[in-house]
Amino acid sequence: MIPAADLLHCREAIRTGSFSFHAASRLLPGRVRDPALALYAFCRLADDAVDENDEKAHAVLTLRDRLDLVYEGRPRNTPADRAFAAVVEEFEMPRALPEALLEGLAWDAAGRRYDTLSDLFDYCARVASAVGAMMAVLMRVRDADALARACDLGLAMQLTNIARDVGEDARARRIYLPLEWLDEAGMAPEAFFADPLPTDDVRAMVRRLLTEADRLYLRSEAGVAALPADCRPGIFAARHIYAGIGGAIRRNGYDTISWRSRTTKSQKIGWLGLSTLRAGVTTLMPRSAVLHARPAPETLFLVEAAAQKARRPAWGDGRSGALLALFAQLEMEDRARRSGTAPPAV
C-alpha cells in the first residue's frame, strides 16, 4: 500500500520527532503500525510546519492545499504526502478528520485563546482526538462507542501535553490554560508572559489539567476491549506512556515552568510490558458499561464523521463555514505580511 522508501521516511520522522508514539507503535500489528506511521508523520510534520514557522498563516494555507491534493488523489511529491494519500485511499478516511486537525492548527496560527475548559476541549478535540479517531479507522473500527473512547484518549493526551508545556508556551507568548482560571487567580496573560513563574496558582492549574486528563484516561480504557485484540497492547501503551508524563509532572510538584517533565527509556519499557499484560487480561474480562458513555460534546462531530465512510467533497458541510472564514482571515494576514503592510509576528 505504501512504497517502502516512503514508509522508511515516515518511520524516521516519528522515531526522531515523537518518542512516545514510536515506543507505543512497536506493539501494534504491522497492518496497523505501517499506516499509523504514515498518519502520524503527516500530522506531526503538519504540526511542526505551523509551530516552527514564523509565517504561520502561510503554513496553514499550504497545509490546506496539501490536504486538497491528497483527497484529489494527486498528492504533493513528498514521502509523507504520498504515504498519507495511500492511507486515505485504502481506509476510506473521512475527510472531516484530518480537516479537524487542520482547523486546530489554524486556531494556533490565529493565536486563539480559550476562555473555558470546554473551549480548550474544542481545541484538544481537533489536534488530538481527531488523530485518535483516525487511528480507530486504521484498525477498521467504526463503532461509535469505541470511537468516543478513542476521542477521550486524545483529549487526555493533549491535556497532558498542555500541562507539560505551560512554561515553554509562556516563553513563546502562547497560553492554553483556560482564561477563566487565570481570572480566578487574578492573573493576566501578558503579565504571565513577562515573568512566568511556578506560583501556587499556576501549579494548581496544572494539577487541574492533569485531574481532567486522568478522568479521561480512565474512561478511554473501556474502549480498548472494543478494538481488535492484537491492537490493544499498542493503545494501552500510548495511554500509559502519556499518563506517565503526568506522573513526572506530579513528582516535580506540578512545576512545568522550571522543568520539562520527561520519562525514561526504562520506564517506557516497563509500560510496554504492563500494556501487553493488561491487553491479555482485557480479553478475559467482560466489557465495561463505560464503553457506552456518551461522547464528550466537543468530540461528537468526530465520532459521527468516523462512524461513516463517505469521503465528502472539499469543505462541504455546514460546520466548515467557520473554517472557511478562518482561512479567509489567514489569507488576508498572509497577503498583508508579504506585501509589508502587516506588523511583524511577536
What amino acid occupies position 42? F
pLDDT for 1 beyond 80? no
Identify the CATH class of 94-310: mainly alpha
What pLDDT is stored for residue 57 in this prediction? 84
Burial class of 63 by CB neighbour count within 10 A (0 to 12, 13 to 18, 19+): buried
Could you tell me the three cell numbers for 120? 480548550
What pLDDT is stored for residue 321 in this prediction? 65
What amino acid occupies position 315? W
What amino acid occupies position 320? S
Contact, 223 vs 152, CB < 8 A? yes
pLDDT band at 45 (very low <50, low <70, confident <90, very high): confident
pLDDT for 346 beyond 70? no
Cβ of 188: how many Cβ atoms within 10 Å? 12
pTM: 0.89
Sign of the C-alpha dihedral, residues 51, 54, 57, 58?
A: negative
What pLDDT is stored for residue 324 in this prediction? 74
Residues 195-248 have pLDDT tens digits of 999 999 999 999 999 999 999 999 999 999 999 999 999 999 999 999 999 999
Cell 486538497 sits on residue: 68
- Which of 17-24's residues contact partners 24+ apart within 8 Å by CB, and which partners? 17/44, 17/48, 18/44, 19/268, 20/238, 20/241, 20/242, 20/245, 20/263, 20/268, 21/238, 23/237, 23/241, 23/268, 23/272, 24/234, 24/235, 24/237, 24/238, 24/241, 24/272, 24/275
Query: Nearest-CA neighbor of 131 among 42, 71, 8?
Result: 42
Contact, 57 vs 274, CB < 8 A? no
Residues 90-134 have pLDDT tens digits of 999 999 999 999 999 999 988 999 999 999 999 999 999 999 999
What pLDDT is stored for residue 317 in this prediction? 52
- Which one has a higher pLDDT value, 50 or 153? 153
Query: For the chain, what are the domain ranges?
Result: 94-310
Contact, 132 vs 150, CB < 8 A? yes
Could you tell me the three cell numbers for 315? 469543505
pLDDT band at 262 (very low <50, low <70, confident <90, very high): confident
- Which one has a higher pLDDT value, 330 or 37? 37
Cβ of 100: how many Cβ atoms within 10 Å? 25
Span 16-44, average pLDDT: 83
Residues 268-325 have pLDDT tens digits of 899 999 999 999 888 777 888 999 999 999 999 999 999 986 555 444 454 566 777 7
What pLDDT is stored for residue 55 in this prediction? 80
Residues 319-343 have pLDDT tens digits of 566 777 777 778 787 777 777 766 5
pLDDT band at 344 (very low <50, low <70, confident <90, very high): low
Could you tell me the three cell numbers for 328? 479567509
pLDDT band at 263 (very low <50, low <70, confident <90, very high): confident
Region of 253 please: left (phi>0), alpha (psi -120 to 50) or beta: left
Cα–Cα distance for residue pair 66/17, rounded to 1 Å:
21
What pLDDT is stored for residue 237 in this prediction? 93
